[in-house]
Structure 1
């Protein structure tokens, strides 16, 4: 059965992360049977990281602050993909199609990453990857 995106809740979470008037810095989009739903929003990285489990698959939209003493700080947005080691091959494969559905809503991001280990889910790692990508231009 095809995945159905809970567009209303996904849009609300996406908008909340992008809104400079909130302290929300991430949104997690998880599977509930054949539905892709907002699994949570917040500003605590450890809370977001708790969603990345061995038997789960998800997407996360994260605001990353970058800049240094010479440049003004700015926000960049990263779209993460995760599937734990216990996720079946079929479920992993379906994620590429489902990511396309999600990207119809989550339009603005500067970097897309597949997270392979839970150690990569840190503000420092994401900031480093975004800054390296910015230097490439």
Structure 2
């Protein structure tokens, strides 16, 4: 953990996951970061989108780092509707700190709706952020 951060984040773990995902030869498409024993750290990484989506339930607060097929990254904050309010507040406060570690992303999103977590929606958000309307 980094003593400069007032919130418990396993800085070395998050950086190692970021570096693993952004390596040129990496086949890891996503990482999810959750509170584990009171500390925000990597919960799971993988390739399968359905496994990624299953990480987001109403009871949890999580950050996610997702790589689209064309190599663009998205940073996401998930705040489950039934997640503890203290976790929601802590996550909002630690988001800038995590983003200082995970710097490589084209778009960030915050959601509590599972329908928002789908590849088409995420691609459209990135395209809109780039100014590509795609007929929308």
Q: Tell me whether 2-11 or 15-24 shows the greater mean CA deviation.
A: 2-11
Q: Provide the alpha-carbon RMSD of the alignment.
A: 1.4
Q: Residue 64 of structure 1: which of 68, 84, 90 is its match?
A: 68
Secondary structure of the structure 1 residue equivalent to 2:120 = helix
Structure having the larger proportion of residues in strand: 1
Q: Tell me whether 35-44 or 10-19 shows the greater mean CA deviation.
A: 10-19
Q: Give the structure 2 partner of residue 15 of structure 1.
A: 19
Structure 1 portions without partners, runs of 5+? 66-73
Q: Give the structure 1 partner of residue 3 of structure 2.
A: none
Q: How does 1:49-128 map to 2 (within 5 A)?
A: 49-65=53-69, 74-128=70-124
Count of residues in correspondence between the two structures = 127
Q: Is the CA contact (8 Å cut-off) linking 2:36 and 2:43 kept in structure 1?
A: no
Q: Deviations over 1:49-98 (max 9, x none)?
A: 11101100000001113xxxxxxxx4211100001110133321221111
Alignment partners' CA distance in 1, 2:97 and 2:131: 30
Secondary structure of the structure 2 residue equivalent to 1:31 = strand
Alignment partners' CA distance in 2, 1:133 and 1:104: 20
Secondary structure of the structure 2 residue equivalent to 1:101 = helix
Structure 2 portions without partners, runs of 5+? 1-5
State the TM-score, normalized to the length of structure 1: 0.85
State the TM-score, normalized to the length of structure 2: 0.86
